[in-house]
Amino acid sequence: MVAAALEAAHGWAQGTVRIHPVKTSGDRIQDRPLAEVGGKGLWTKELDLLLLQGETDLSVHSMKDVESVRPETLVVAAMLPRADVRDRLIGAATIDELSQGAVVGTSSPRRSAQLLRLRTDLQIVPIRGNVATRLTKLAQGEVDATFLAAAGLDRLGIEEGVPISPDVMLPAPAQAAIGAECRADDEATRGLLAAINHLPTCAAIGAERTFARAVGGSCHSPVAALAVQGGDERLWLRAEILSTDGSDRVAGEVRFTPGDEAPQALARELLDQAPPSIRGLFA
């Protein structure tokens, strides 16, 4: 998608942008939750090395999987228009219709905490692998239901599942956004990427990542955030942090002009309100 956008923006022939597939540690390690084996860096470290060595000109990321603190030598120079931010439930028509004590497969601390807050009876088990692997585990009865990002399913042409409103399950920071990152000192590539940068997406993702960075935490920390742009070009940022079992939750929202420090202020406000069960996860 990034290659096609660059070629269209600059009038280049199809195939001008060469794609170099990289199998990251996050792709290879499928038997354990990310938080147990190194966190989000597992999706970026191999790409970063190639980029910093000059073997590639840019890296393409699912922004949800990119650490909120990145090396100063790299910069996310473009984002494509954001896709559907919602999660999709696969295995039942609604969360309420999941059977009593249903087994739900997810390795996301956010989804786990949000689900247990809604349904204390649910059993959460870790599930990793690509979309096909997770759907196979569901079909084989290893779990009764699972959740997947609607954006990923849409990009694969998979229509299964029921979208869950952000009012019910607020998404992860930067969910459904694709970003292109290059070396900070590579002015030529930064200029090329500027032509495909979708400014509303860039502003929203920037706010969500700023909040995530300010609130701290790790891959063990249940955090959700969603920023949307209104007609007056101000951003509306909603965010929440939860305890591991979802029994405690602190949420807030703010409307602000892109670029001010409202996301950081919201992070401080939520942490100040948080009980020990939450604050200990965001030290």
| Burial annotation 127-162 (CB, 10 A radius, 16+ → b, else e) | bbeebeebbebbeeeebbbbbbbbbbbebeebeebb
Identify the active-site residue in 65, 87, 144, 186.
65
77 contacts 184 by C-beta, under 8 angstroms: no
Q: DSSP string of 26-52?
A: HHH--SS-GGGTTGGGGGTHHHHHHHH
Q: Is 65 a catalytic residue?
A: yes
- DSSP secondary structure code for residue 64 in this structure: G
Cβ-based neighbour number of residue 195 at 10 Å: 12
The CA R_g of the chain, rounded to the nearest whole Å, is 19
Catalytic residue numbers read 65
